[in-house]
Amino acid sequence: MTAHSKIGASSMYRWSMCPGSVKASEGIESRSSKYAEEGTKAHDMAADFLEGKGVAADDEVMHEAVLEYGYFVRDHVDPGDTLLVEHQFDLTKIHAGCFGTADAVIWKPATKRLMVIDFKYGAGIQVEVTDNPQLMYYALGALVTCGFSPMTVEMVIVQPRCAHPDGRFVRR
């Protein structure tokens, strides 16, 4: 699933409030930016780190942010837990065209807790975890496709480069 869903997690804030925006945006070319490219590079490095491939970075700021995210995730994986990195899911049984990729999902069977962790590399824009449509979409993806039966779902945003009143690890 390398394509982006027209009704994906990152645009859920828009299409959930204005369903017509999906049709209206058809045929409009999606443009990247240097910030999006940096974010993609940071996410790729973070996945490599969590998969045990190490981190090679020519950018010290990116290196530190990736390690902070990576250590946060690894520190929450206990023996017996399941860690899914860049977890791809397909929700077409709920609605055609719904699919995506969650940065990290941790299943903790001992406590029946599912953690869904989103890495935000960007600086300057605080991302809230409460009522966050993107995280809820990722959590639904994990719930529907993994077969876990959690009692609790915890959603976490890790944004090492952005000062947030609740800290760099925001949880709900």
pLDDT digits (tens, 9 = 90+) for 90-110: 877 877 777 788 999 999 999
Whether residue 127 lies inside any domain: the answer is yes
pLDDT digits (tens, 9 = 90+) for 59-88: 899 999 999 999 999 999 999 999 999 988
Is the model's pLDDT at 45 over the cut of 50? Answer: yes
SS3 51: coil
The CATH number of residue 77's host domain is 3.40.1350
Whether residue 78 lies inside any domain: the answer is yes
- The residues pairing with 90 across neighbouring beta strands, listed in sequence order, are 99
- The residues pairing with 157 across neighbouring beta strands, listed in sequence order, are 118, 170
User: What distance in Å separates the CA atoms of residue 55 and residue 71, rounded to the nearest whole number?
Assistant: 12
Quote the number of domains for the chain.
1
Domain range spanning residue 118?
68-171
Question: How far is CA 117 from its chain centroid?
Answer: 6
Mean pLDDT of all residues belonging to the chain: 81
The residue-averaged pLDDT of 26-33 equals 68
* DSSP codes joined into one string, 16-47: TT-THHHHHTTTPPP---HHHHHHHHHHHHHH
